[in-house]
Amino acid sequence: MKKRSWYLNSKGLSLIEIMVALGVIGISIVVILMTERYKWDGFKRSRKVTEVTNIIEDRIEHMRMFIAAAPDSNWPPCPPANFPCETTFTEKDITLTRVIDEARNFDNETVANAVKVSFHAQWEIHSKTDSVEITTYVAKDF
């Protein structure tokens, strides 16, 4: 007597098997699409952070070149009596706030001929507010 395989006796897949297979495929597609969406949102954020960093770098370099052009007349970039000196401006769709304050060492003593410059950048992506803060120090003689 010959043994016959099960698939030779079957006449096809049942409706339940097809529905389960379609359900698994559907859930897989939804998961893949959600993952792609989060990946693209991450790309958008990293592109925006790079753009913001470049703008802040340009602002810092502009300040340094302004000071270097005439250190005696252009120093400090903000009068010490006005510390902390805050300026807000908008570039593209990014709101930048620059705060210039006195530089301090680890003993909390004021550092001569140096200022602390903090930038806070804020923007919106998909109705969500995102921000970056960068702090650097600028010296009169660098």
Q: Which residue has the tokens 């693209």?
A: 40
Residue 115 lies in a domain: yes
- State how many domains the chain has: 1
Size of the chain, expressed as the number of residues it contains: 142
Give per-residue pLDDT as tens, 9-34. Answer: 566 778 898 899 999 999 999 999 88
Range of the domain at 90: 14-139
The pLDDT confidence band at residue 71, using thresholds 50, 70 and 90, is confident
What is the Cα–Cα distance from 22 to 12, expressed in whole angstroms?
A: 16
Residue 38 lies in a domain: yes
